[in-house]
Amino acid sequence: MLLTRIKGPRDLDRLSQEELEQLAAEIRSFLVDAVSKTGGHLGPNLGVVELTIALHRVFDSPKDKVLFDTGHQAYVHKLLTGRQDFAGLRSKGGLSGYPSRAESDHDVIENSHASTVLGWADGLAKANEVLGREDHHVAAVIGDGALTGGMAWEALNNIAAAKDRPLVIVVNDNERSYGPTIGGLANHLATLRTTDGYERFLARGKEILERTPVVGKPLFETLHGAKKGLKDFIAPQGMFEDLGLKYIGPIDGHDIEALESALQRAKRFSGPVIVHCLTQKGRGYEPAVQDEADRFHAVGVIHPDTGLPVSTDAASWTSVFADEMVKLGKERKDIVAITAAMLQPVGLKKFADAFPDRIYDVGIAEQHGATSAAGLATGGAHPVFAVYATFLNRAFDQVLMDVALHKCGVTFVLDRAGVTGTDGASHNGMWDMSIMQVVPGLRLAAPRDAEQLRAQLREAVEVKDAPTVVRYSKGVVGPAVPAVGRIGGMDVLRAPGADVTRPDVLLVSVGALAPMCLEIAALLDKQGITTTVVDPRWVKPVDEALAPLADRHRVVVTVEDNGRTGGVGSAVSQALRDAGVDVPLRDFGIPQRFLDHASRKEVMAEIGLTAPDIARQVTGLVAKLDGRYDSEPAAAVD
């Protein structure tokens, strides 16, 4: 096999065009076989095989910087830079599903949030200029989907201003992000099918040809049927050259020789150049090509021959939300939905099918999505903006200044909150409850099970004068966790016996960690430690009943699937101080560090967010209090 002979990019230099085609076929076979065993981003990588080969043939990585926006399409790049052991892909100790500086000097960006690559490229090109590195080059690959993000256009505005600063921008145009790319830019990139110049030319041509005897009308119909080629002839550069960027393309993104020729020309140019490549997501794997939803953008473990899942999971948090949104849509005509290029992953496909006129895909533009939602709310609708928790970070200013300041009734539904695991540091949804704590008036719900997700989503969309947030985990929703009572707005999940006058521990359980918190209480009970377990349901604002309840316990413990700094534990601590309740408090959550990729269970064990770990520490805390409880006041434990 040729692939096993590729230890680094320069090994590609010795291959003939025929061998390069063979290598491309081998890479596709490798990807289908490997990713079907581990899960991962299959479709995007199948689409960039020839493009990645050409990039590494033309550019000398790592001296030259080859950058990938988002990075989920970097599997081929990994294979060509000496990383061909995919057995542990996205698993603890194995290869990351994204570029990783720890893995290779060939990897530059590892944040895996879209639309950032052009900003990186601009900075790297400026550094080359400042330091006089004329033999260093920067090539940035960005998809048509990522070009819907505002950051990309902010960068292009700066890049275009420096006409003599070399920089190669490769637009990987497969007409998709997750699903089909939507919006005005998508229409432009589809080889500029609606340029004014073409329409004026065609109208004038029709006028002339219709006056031409015999051949006029047939000739006009022939030209009109050749719209694509004619438009490319009239205005192929379009918008990019209007920005002052040299444009090459469109290029067949699966023709290695054509790609190399275009990239070589771009590399030699002394300023910024756009190389527009047309590729097919999922190319070479029929199940992916036939998948209209997202061309196997990301898959779990599948049968390589059929593309079908090896196993069918139980109901997920996302599917529960999806079904409830359709019910709400039927009941209320003012309910509309917003997605940022992730219609299917966030569970809005069913809503879109049922209410096609009430769904808005804003592209990879979370900031715009949030402000547009404020406008919708001001206009009388109630928007539900479903987005991964990690991506709401990008729209914080809009949530604060556009939605909250204006008291707009917008509901943000955060999928994949907390530890997500296999996608690594940038995809863990561990920031949202900290970030949202500082937003005045915002209410934040963390449902513990499917029933509560349905109920709290309904409660959220009833709020008309403030933003609401409903956040939940990735994956399978657990069994129902019934309440045994209610105190204020909080559900009591476990209560000590009636004969216990002052229980030892008040355990505040946040969201999907309720089963683990009940396990903690059971372990404490075996140590003779009495525990009350409550689920606040709405964790912001802190329920007014919590402080007096805490005052009736010896110690308060909070457990959350969020960063400890500024999270629910911090909010509870502040609420107790404000109420004059001097009870020791210990908060358990995610440490404020970037967590390596691994399964959720492995990550939770690594950070000590498990029932045995927490029970052991709480037991030690109570024992410490017992040792000095009668002789001196108990000190707070942070």
Whether omega before 541 lies within 30 degrees of 0, making that bond cis, reads yes
- Selecting among 231, 394, 448, 474, the annotated active-site residue is 394
End-to-end CA distance of the chain: 58
Length reported for the chain: 638
Q: Each residue of 263-285: b (16+ CB within 10 Å) or e?
A: beebbeeebbbbbbbbbbbbbbb
Report the distance separating Cα 557 and Cα 587, nearest Å: 6
Sign of the C-alpha dihedral computed for residues 501, 507, 508 and 512 taken in this order: negative
Q: Each residue of 146-165: b (16+ CB within 10 Å) or e?
A: bbbbebbeebbeebbebeeb
Strand order in the sheet with 246-252: 65-68, 138-143, 167-173, 272-278, 246-252
Cβ atoms within 10 Å of 547's Cβ, excluding its own: 19
Dump the DSSP string for 610-621: SHHHHHHHHHHH
Tokens of 513: 């960690």
Residues 120, 140 contacting (CB under 8 angstroms): yes
Residues 251, 278 contacting (CB under 8 angstroms): yes
- Selecting among 83, 176, 246, 281, the annotated active-site residue is 281
Report the distance separating Cα 528 and Cα 550, nearest Å: 19
Annotated active-site residue 37? The verdict is no
Question: Which residues lie below 8 Å from residue 275, measured CB to CB, with a gap of 6+?
Answer: 168, 169, 170, 171, 248, 249, 251, 262, 263, 266
Q: How far is CA 469 from CA 115, 278, 439, in A?
A: 25, 39, 11
Report the distance separating Cα 379 and Cα 116, nearest Å: 32
| Closest alpha carbon to 117 in 53, 79, 171 | 171
Report the distance separating Cα 189 and Cα 60, nearest Å: 29
Tokens of 185: 């830019």
Annotated active-site residue 324? The verdict is no
Report the distance separating Cα 525 and Cα 507, nearest Å: 13
| Closest alpha carbon to 508 in 440, 452, 567 | 567
DSSP state of 163: T
Annotated active-site residue 366? The verdict is yes
- Selecting among 110, 324, 366, 560, the annotated active-site residue is 366
Q: Which helix (H) or strand (E) holds 334?
A: none
Q: How far is CA 358 from CA 176, 329, 348, in A?
A: 21, 9, 11
Residues 227, 235 contacting (CB under 8 angstroms): no
Catalytic residues: 281, 366, 394
